[in-house]
Amino acid sequence: MSTAEQDVYKNAVTAMITAGTYATLVSIHKDMSHNMHDMGTLVSRLRFLPWHRAYLLHFEAELQKVDKNAFVPYWKWVDGGVPTWLASFKPTVGTTTNKRNNLTSSITSKTRIDTVLATTDYPSFSHELEIDPHNQGHVALGEPMSRVPTAPSDPIFWMHHGEVDRIWSLWQTKNAGKGPLLSGKDAVMDPWTEDIKALSSVASLGYSYV
């Protein structure tokens, strides 16, 4: 990212916090009835990736209401720790104080990513990606990222999940036609209206990863 793009992201997040729209988005993640994390059921495991893809899209739409040039960057885990340009950006959201650990080393390795990507069935792939490195990253970064209800309060949350989504998109390229088999209300990523089909391809959604 250029310095200008970094500033656009930080300024848009700051404006959203001031307006209250950021806290509204955070509150969605507090509600575990959305079944968006692996809680020991197959449905919750299958919803993890598409639900968070929808979450990213709605967050980015709010960013772009502030600045049309804003977008959700991804934090490429294997490149190292917390990006230097984000290290001092620890805004308070409501009553949640940002106490993030500014890690200087990577939360995972290329070997681990390659292992996850080599998993050929979707339920196993999603589970492996979620527990390590996704969960590992949340814990290592400390509060507010280490707690589900407050995690999105840290602007790195969206970048962390941008990387999750990027890894999923790479897996999809290698495993065409495979994905979460959900039906009925389980296939709709509430509280939004997007379903599995609408979220199945980054290309159809109009974005890509470089």
The parts of the chain modelled with pLDDT lower than 50 are none
Cα(102)–Cα(81) distance, integer angstroms: 7
The secondary element (H helix, E strand) that includes residue 57 is helix 42-66
Amino acid 86: pLDDT = 97
Residue 121 backbone zone (phi > 0: left; psi -120 to 50: alpha; other: beta): beta
Amino acid 116: pLDDT = 98
Amino acid 207: pLDDT = 95
Amino acid 191: pLDDT = 98
Contact 10, 155 (CB under 8 A): yes
Amino acid 163: pLDDT = 98
Go through the domains of the chain in sequence order and give each one's CATH number.
3-203 (1.10.1280.10)
pLDDT tens per residue, range 93-106: 999 999 999 999 99
Residue 40: other Cβ atoms inside 10 A:
7
